[in-house]
Structure 1
């Protein structure tokens, strides 16, 4: 849908149909505030809180999405997705895993140890 372009201005970005996360999502809130701070409103959007749904919509060419690059590089390499840079740059989003207190709960301590040893969000499990 964008040809060989690798960058868009903010005005060009908001002129496209965007896949956005809803207002209950930390990312949805962060980007909503970023668009507002940059004085733009979104006129065409699809709200989708499911990552696989967002990927499917973007791969189909129906809309533009902000997706985690590291785990989707294989789709970029296959030409199914294209990376775009936007000026001004989009804000970085940091995720944290939050859990209840595990003091004295050996099962939860074991789950946390497995999670810390095995979670690698730079890899995608679906090829």
Structure 2
């Protein structure tokens, strides 16, 4: 008996397809590795002390998501605590997927960069 294993997708599924595959509860409850696998995601950190981030209020900065054809990367401040990083990652994934954010504090806020100014977003 032969079995065929499909190849992994070369591009990230559209957020719309991912949105239908996950619920807000799953984004909050899945182990981080499984969540990242489900959204074709990876993690990275940024040094918010660098001049590149001059003027950024780092007390209010959670991080950001970069969406490329190969998948998403969630960037969080390198000086964030593990708990803060976990919440930020899950919130940013929830936002990226366009899911309801009712499981997160109302004080969270998102700014979306699109179009030609993407070259200005640090990655």
TM-score, normalised to structure 1, is 0.25
Return the index of the structure with the highest Cα Rg: 1
TM-score, normalised to structure 2, is 0.25
